[in-house]
Amino acid sequence: MLNRIIICCLLISFKTLADDGSRLWLKYDLLKDAQQRDKYAALTKFIAANHNSPIVASAVSELQMGFQGLLGKKVSASASAGSRTGGVILQVNANAQNLLEDGFAINSQKGNIVISAKTPSGVLYGAFELLRNIQTGKSLSNLAIVSNPKVKIRMLNHWDNANGTVERGYAGSSMWKWTELPFRIDPRYIQYARANASIGINAASINNVNASSRFLTAEYLEKIKAVADVLRPYGIRVFISVNFRSPRTLGGLKTSDPLDPEVKQWWNDKTKEIHQYIPDFGGFLVKANSEGEPGPQDYGRTHADGANMLAEAMRPYGGIVIWRAFVYKADPNGDRFKEAYDQFKPLDGTFDPKVIVQVKNGPIDFMPREPFHPMFGAFPNTTLGMEFQITQEYLGQSTHLTYLAPMFKECLDSDTYAKGKGSTVAKVIDGSLESHQNSLMAGVANTGSDVNWTAHPFNQANWYAFGRLAWDYDLTSEHIASEWIAMTLAKSKAGQETIKRMMMQSLPIYISYTYPLGTAHMMGEGHHYGPEPWLEKSGRPDWTSIYYHRADSVGLGFDRTGKVSNALSLYSAEVQKQWGDPERCSLDYLLWFHHIPWTKKLSTGRTLWNELCFRYYDGVEQVRKLQTDWESLKPELDKETFENVKGRLRIQEKEALWWRDACVLYFITYTKMPIPAPLVPPTRSLNEVKKLVEIYHLR
Amino acid sequence: MLNRIIICCLLISFKTLADDGSRLWLKYDLLKDAQQRDKYAALTKFIAANHNSPIVASAVSELQMGFQGLLGKKVSASASAGSRTGGVILQVNANAQNLLEDGFAINSQKGNIVISAKTPSGVLYGAFELLRNIQTGKSLSNLAIVSNPKVKIRMLNHWDNANGTVERGYAGSSMWKWTELPFRIDPRYIQYARANASIGINAASINNVNASSRFLTAEYLEKIKAVADVLRPYGIRVFISVNFRSPRTLGGLKTSDPLDPEVKQWWNDKTKEIHQYIPDFGGFLVKANSEGEPGPQDYGRTHADGANMLAEAMRPYGGIVIWRAFVYKADPNGDRFKEAYDQFKPLDGTFDPKVIVQVKNGPIDFMPREPFHPMFGAFPNTTLGMEFQITQEYLGQSTHLTYLAPMFKECLDSDTYAKGKGSTVAKVIDGSLESHQNSLMAGVANTGSDVNWTAHPFNQANWYAFGRLAWDYDLTSEHIASEWIAMTLAKSKAGQETIKRMMMQSLPIYISYTYPLGTAHMMGEGHHYGPEPWLEKSGRPDWTSIYYHRADSVGLGFDRTGKVSNALSLYSAEVQKQWGDPERCSLDYLLWFHHIPWTKKLSTGRTLWNELCFRYYDGVEQVRKLQTDWESLKPELDKETFENVKGRLRIQEKEALWWRDACVLYFITYTKMPIPAPLVPPTRSLNEVKKLVEIYHLR
């Protein structure tokens, strides 16, 4: 018998030796330390849940799965603890103190661990918190945790197309298998729901904002209902991105004018129909009059007209309307920086309370570093939601290690000074600054059909970090990284520290070899892969590179002071002061706001040109250090994961060199100055580098 | 200790309980019957290999992996058996008797099992054959197997695009991760190589025939080299699909005229460059002057001019040029059936011996049932290769159970009568009929990034069947199905028989509810999903449906006798006799060749209209029987696989109904006759059904 068991062990472990990443941060591998297991086991002898909802059932089954995996024991569940001690009690209590909706408390109480919450979702989040404590090796004695989400709608936006592709997706095709639905439920939907619930995400818009009308047909509503039914027990509500022209496309109407009675009726009817499939439907997400999408302006109406019409259709229900502020017109003499602000400012105060205007973190488009969007703090009478991009469109896609928590935090922590010091973007977003009821933080998802969900193993951390920050933006990037690392990659303290250091350095490194000193938007046209700072012509002037960097023989950077675009004036006086003076402006933001002479000496003691070169070169060197760091971790890492990241770091090095050489060789055509010693000039020519990006323009 | 082992077992099996299909037919799960294991173990005590090549090393490691999994034991390998018995000996022997290149013999010899072959690849194929014998429960006593491949180049064509999408791919995105290459080697490449080698596939064209020039840049050759290096130890050679305009696109030349000296030189240089990366490069695959692709006709030259120019570039090397015959011009009064024949016929005998002209199995385009392509048997002086489609573009994509071996076989077994009775298509393809040196069978791959490679679990069987038939087209469809089932789904004899019956019925069922009686090409425009028999206008007349079915008030079908297109005349007299007389023509092919009155009584005793209705309805009923069959297997199947197929069968039923209703409601507008009793007319209207396919035309 023992023999057979050993054989069975050998064989099975033989198959599972490699970690394919499919389990994300919910690995639940047996804790190696038997003493530690025993300690936890003594506190998790049973599960008692006083509530009978599907969401609480998810919490119970997750705890059972977690205890089974981490502690190696089956734990039974019942409705009541009775007089037992040493167990985990789940309590839904509508009158729980100090808790908001979705919040939870975990307390050591009379020999048991009690997870209490006002709602089943709160209990579920508490269960995941308890598991995370075990996964990360924390003590379960004397627990007294209270945790409330800072933002109410914590949401993923999937830019997944009906045809199975994913716009700006770098991890395979769409995870939603529309042709299989509603009858085949891919088990990955459940994994996805669990992963989201574990970090507090409670909403998902399942299709691209460049939206196909087909998602509003009965055929597709049946499919979406099947998805909603899978996500509901994990507390996740489904949203649909809608095409504003749907009344014409699907309804056969002559117009989609939001003030037209038939159009209103069509949306009323459609919204009612949706609720027959999905009673707890989250709402609509709309990209309108943006990059060619239809919208109310096609009929001489405003964004508010469009959004409010949809809000009216949603009136009888709990859902909302999320209206994107990502709009800009193609004006070669304008400044895209100001477009959304200018278009929406007159509408402040005119949006229905059911409308949230979703604003990207920065005024351009998810650049690796942008100043916070000037709309934040300037729209007191509008509920503004945040749109971050988790998928790394401009941040290395699937091959660069770039941990995004510091980028999210940099924006959230920015002070708008709208109501004096401390009026951070985070406080705009959570509704506290201007006392809005709703609040929203959305992240454009990086999930795909790849086995490990996100292609680069480290990209999983960005999904994780987004969720954790949407729950609590006061968590530090380091803290979130530590959690994620302990649950995924390394068990040794030293290993965890090395990986955390790599992650914390990764964004500055990436920016250094791509967009140092506040440069932006110099990537390959269309696919946004690799550098193309020389791009002069495109479908629109504001899709070129030269529109943004404004390089000339004198210097570099987009003057957004009063002398030129005056975009700075959109910010409060304090912010203008902070960025308006090139002598005081942080180098991180310098060229966002100023056109600086190449020869100007910066606070580093180097001229702009020398500093630029230094940063590009240093970025490449830092990637090499990341490789050395990673190599040092080989003994303790899963082999497949180690090789996976190792290979990607080599690609990252190659591409960092590509960015460096492309940018310095291009800008040198303006500066006519040498690459400063001791830096060694690139061995290839500008023309050679230019050919590289052309390859990716070939069909 | 025992305790810990049991825990470990529990936990690991907990994780691996579900079969995600990623291991394809190479599961190597422990055989349940201990006695059987012991029997095999006694004959596999060691491995000895007299040859030191990477391919033989692959054979050794595969045997070790297989024995470890199937028999639960580690088996050591050495260079020589010495005086030992009870082991497996691998011998490369250039003078081996009765063996062709790649062939192998497996003999019980002096107490050992000896796998011998002329080449390392032959040994590898023999090793997989031995493992297959164990996987399928065959005896290893008194082995005397000789197996030679009938076709020399057994090839997958990947229609994978540079941007990661797959043309006509239904299993996620491309399995080739170009942005990660050359530095990250996805472990899936190795799984892919093993799977192919296990069924004798020895060639892979890695990119879409609608080819991007980027695959010929140094940047991409480095990436392709990395792939070739992974595939080489499994005996697989890499081919590249090339864009004929590359000398202009990449080389900056003014022309791509194949007779231009600079163009020739460009291809010579490029071919040389490729070989610096990939010394054993397989060759070029070319789609030219077809569906908008560039080609020699752009310069007034012939397909032979183009192909021979590339062959000349390939002269110093072992590789070849595969030139596709899939060409047709947009002529509303023509017959696409004849186009390739007509364009290529004058060129017979003018192609370089290094050129293989690759012909689709039928004259149109991978319809579920087509008469064999009239070029087969009519081009004695040209090496013709076969192009099958494994990916199910017209055969249910990812949601219909359709086992394709019978379709492949039907074509291969067709008699061209070119040199009298017995001149089968298979004998044209293997070169034996007209004594050609080269031979090729290509299959358009159905692989993708989905965890289980092919989306529908049963689609794996089509990949498997293609490889097995390319090796030996005399294998029966039943035999191949049995092998595959035993290695993948079911262990009980009864279960295996049920599944085999389902598979063997599946193609006739699919044809019944989509294209009965020899109809063709009535699918949704562009995406080819669902039915659209009413399609009257498209980018080209021969992309509509009415071009093919020719329905009118009198009857249905495309008259290809002398009265109209006379495509029949392209076949030999015997074939014309077989299909030319509507009274004698098999009902399977009837409407391919004849326009039959709706009221005409067929050999079944029913009129055409009634027979058509009967088949559409019967097809749906048969799908319901497949569901019942599948349900009966629940107790013995892996849960995840069971649910997966169950869900897809429900979708299949829904779509079978969609096809049935669409087609009978549409054709009834011509026949004006009722749906014959006892069949119950559809409850929905033609307009309602028409709206369904429109959904899939929405962006």
- How many whole angstroms separate alpha carbon B639 and alpha carbon B622? 24
CA angle B217, B220, B224 (to 5 degrees): 130
- How many whole angstroms separate alpha carbon A197 and alpha carbon A128? 8
Question: Which residues of A are less than 8 Å from B527 in CB distance?
Answer: 163
Residue A494, domain member (yes or no): no
Say whether both B128 and B161 belong to one domain.
Answer: no
The residue-averaged pLDDT of A228-250 equals: 98
Say whether both A186 and A141 belong to one domain.
Answer: no
Nearest CA in chain A to B68: A11
Give buried/exposed letters for A7-29 (b at 16+ CB in 10 A, else e).
Answer: bbbbbbeebeeebbbebbbbebb
Among residues B488, B523, B543, the one where a domain terminates is: B488
Structure tokens at A347: 């509408």
Residue A16, domain member (yes or no): no
Q: What is the CATH number of the domain that holds B670?
A: 3.90.1330.10
Question: Which residues of B are less than 8 Å from A27 in CB distance?
Answer: none
**CA distances in angstroms from A598 to A286, A516, A554, A563, listed in the order given:** 43, 14, 6, 19
- Cα distance from B239 to chain A (closest Cα, Å)? 19
Nearest CA in chain A to B18: A187
Say whether both A373 and A424 belong to one domain.
Answer: yes
Q: A89 - beta bridge partners?
A: A48, A114
Reported as a single tens digit per residue, the pLDDT across B399-425 is 999 999 999 999 999 999 999 999 999
From the CB of residue B435, how many other CB atoms can be counted at a distance below 10 Å? 7
Say whether both B284 and B203 belong to one domain.
Answer: yes
Percent helix, strand and coil across chain A, each to the nearest 5:
45, 10, 45
Please report the pLDDT score of residue A280 as a whole number: 98
- Could you tell me how far CA B498 lies from the centroid of its own chain? 24
- A to B CB pairs, distance under 8 Å: 160
Residues 6+ apart with CB under 8 A from B147: B103, B104, B105, B125, B126, B129, B471, B472
**Confidence category of residue A595, pLDDT binned at 50, 70, 90:** very high
B330 in A contact zone (CB under 8 Å): no
Interfacial A residues in 680-699 facing B (CB < 8 Å): 692, 695-696, 698-699
Question: Which residues of A are less than 8 Å from B18 in CB distance?
Answer: 187
Structure tokens at A496: 């965890």
CB B648 to CB A11 under 8 A?
no
Reported as a single tens digit per residue, the pLDDT across A159-182 is 999 999 999 999 999 999 999 999
Percentage of chain B surpassing pLDDT 70? Answer: 98
Give buried/exposed letters for A276-291 (b at 16+ CB in 10 A, else e).
Answer: ebbeebbbbbbbbbbe
- How many whole angstroms separate alpha carbon B357 and alpha carbon B343? 12
The residue-averaged pLDDT of A437-457 equals: 97
The residue-averaged pLDDT of B269-292 equals: 98
Which of A638, A381, A615, A442 lies closest to A515 in space, CA to CA?
A615
Q: Is the pLDDT of residue A249 over 60?
A: yes
Asked if A353 and A381 count as a contact pair (C-beta separation under 8 A), the reply is no
The mean pLDDT of chain A is: 96
Residues 6+ apart with CB under 8 A from B497: none
- How many whole angstroms separate alpha carbon A680 and alpha carbon B429? 59
ipTM entry: 0.95
Residue A456, domain member (yes or no): yes
The residue-averaged pLDDT of B528-533 equals: 98
Asked if B522 and B515 count as a contact pair (C-beta separation under 8 A), the reply is yes
**Confidence category of residue A490, pLDDT binned at 50, 70, 90:** confident
The set of long-range contacts for A429-436, using a CB threshold of 8 Å and a minimum separation of 24, is A429/A151, A429/A376, A429/A384, A429/A385, A429/A386, A429/A473, A430/A150, A430/A151, A430/A473, A431/A152, A431/A383, A433/A377, A434/A380, A434/A381, A436/A383
Q: Is the pLDDT of residue A196 over 60?
A: yes
**Confidence category of residue A1, pLDDT binned at 50, 70, 90:** very low
Identity of the amino acid at A280: D
Query: Is B497 assigned a catalytic role?
Result: no
Which of B596, B610, B601, B512 lies closest to B549 in space, CA to CA?
B596
Reported as a single tens digit per residue, the pLDDT across B332-346 is 889 999 999 999 999
Say whether both B253 and B375 belong to one domain.
Answer: yes
A101 in B contact zone (CB under 8 Å): no
The residue-averaged pLDDT of A413-423 equals: 98
Percentage of chain B surpassing pLDDT 90? Answer: 95
Residue A277, domain member (yes or no): yes
> Dihedral of the CA atoms B203, B206, B211, B215 (nearest 10)?
-110
- Cα distance from B67 to chain A (closest Cα, Å)? 11
Reported as a single tens digit per residue, the pLDDT across B64-93 is 999 999 999 999 999 999 999 999 999 999
Say whether both B141 and B243 belong to one domain.
Answer: no
Query: Is B291 assigned a catalytic role?
Result: yes
The single-letter DSSP state of residue A420 is B
**Confidence category of residue A17, pLDDT binned at 50, 70, 90:** low
Q: What is the CATH number of the domain that holds B297?
A: 3.20.20.80
The residue-averaged pLDDT of A131-160 equals: 98
Containing structural domain, residue B602? 512-558+595-695
- Could you tell me how far CA B497 lies from the centroid of its own chain? 24
Among residues A130, A147, A164, the one where a domain terminates is: A147
The single-letter DSSP state of residue A381 is T
Q: Is the pLDDT of residue A44 over 50?
A: yes
**Confidence category of residue A12, pLDDT binned at 50, 70, 90:** very low
A398 in B contact zone (CB under 8 Å): yes
Please report the pLDDT score of residue A635 as a whole number: 96
**CA distances in angstroms from A69 to A6, A58, A66, A75, listed in the order given:** 19, 16, 5, 11
Q: Taking every pair of C-alpha atoms in chain B, what is the biggest distance, in angstroms? A: 84
Please report the pLDDT score of residue B17 as a whole number: 57
Question: Which residues of A are less than 8 Å from B29 in CB distance?
Answer: 11
Residue A570, domain member (yes or no): no
Alpha-helical runs (H) found in B287-414: 303-313, 336-344, 405-412
Is the model more confident about A51 or about B312?
B312
Q: Is the pLDDT of residue B16 over 50?
A: no
Asked if B457 and B642 count as a contact pair (C-beta separation under 8 A), the reply is no
Q: Is the pLDDT of residue A332 over 90?
A: no
Question: Which residues of B are less than 8 Å from A68 in CB distance?
Answer: 10-11, 14
Phi, psi of A213 (to 5 degrees): -65, -15
Lowest-confidence segment of A11-25, A250-264, A628-642, B152-166 by average pLDDT: A11-25
Residues 6+ apart with CB under 8 A from A482: A136, A496, A500
Give buried/exposed letters for B5-20 (b at 16+ CB in 10 A, else e).
Answer: eebbbbbbeebeeebb
* CB-closest option in B162, B180, B213 to A399: B180
Query: How many CA atoms are closer than 13 Å to the CA of B475, on its beta-carbon side?
Result: 25
* CB-closest option in A12, A217, A698 to B12: A12
The residue-averaged pLDDT of A401-407 equals: 98
Which of A548, A70, A562 lies closest to A336 in space, CA to CA?
A548
Question: Which residues of A are less than 8 Å from B7 in CB distance?
Answer: 30, 72-73
Is the model more confident about B17 or about B169?
B169
B14 in A contact zone (CB under 8 Å): yes
CB A9 to CB B8 under 8 A?
yes
Say whether both B114 and B159 belong to one domain.
Answer: no
Q: B89 - beta bridge partners?
A: B48, B114
Q: What is the CATH number of the domain that holds A130?
A: 3.30.379.10
Say whether both B179 and B160 belong to one domain.
Answer: yes
B208 in A contact zone (CB under 8 Å): no
Interfacial B residues in 147-186 facing A (CB < 8 Å): 162-165, 170, 172-173, 177, 179-180, 183-185
Alpha-helical runs (H) found in A555-685: 573-580, 590-593, 608-632, 639-671
CB B644 to CB A184 under 8 A?
yes
Among residues A456, A488, A520, the one where a domain terminates is: A488
Residue B631, domain member (yes or no): yes
Q: 3-class SS at B685?
A: coil
Question: Which residues of B are less than 8 Å from A187 in CB distance?
Answer: 18, 640
Q: A607 - beta bridge partners?
A: A601
Say whether both B608 and B646 belong to one domain.
Answer: yes
Query: How many CA atoms are closer than 13 Å to the CA of A191, on its beta-carbon side?
Result: 18
What does DSSP say about strands A77-78 and A47-49: parallel, antiparallel, or unpaired? parallel
Query: Is B393 assigned a catalytic role?
Result: yes
Residue A640, domain member (yes or no): yes
Say whether both A140 and A199 belong to one domain.
Answer: no
Reported as a single tens digit per residue, the pLDDT across A59-72 is 999 999 999 999 99
Say whether both A230 and A173 belong to one domain.
Answer: yes
Interfacial A residues in 416-445 facing B (CB < 8 Å): none
- Could you tell me how far CA A206 lies from the centroid of its own chain? 15
CB B11 to CB A695 under 8 A?
no
A450 in B contact zone (CB under 8 Å): yes
Residue B686, domain member (yes or no): yes
From the CB of residue A252, how many other CB atoms can be counted at a distance below 10 Å? 8
The set of long-range contacts for B688-694, using a CB threshold of 8 Å and a minimum separation of 24, is B689/B531, B689/B658, B689/B661, B689/B662, B689/B665, B690/B534, B690/B662, B692/A219, B692/B530, B692/B658, B692/B662, B693/B524, B693/B529, B693/B530, B693/B531, B693/B532, B693/B662
Lowest-confidence segment of A96-100, A169-173, A481-485, B218-222 by average pLDDT: A96-100
Q: Is the pLDDT of residue A15 over 90?
A: no
**Confidence category of residue B42, pLDDT binned at 50, 70, 90:** very high
The mean pLDDT of chain B is: 96
Say whether both B137 and B238 belong to one domain.
Answer: no
Domain count for chain A, please give it: 3
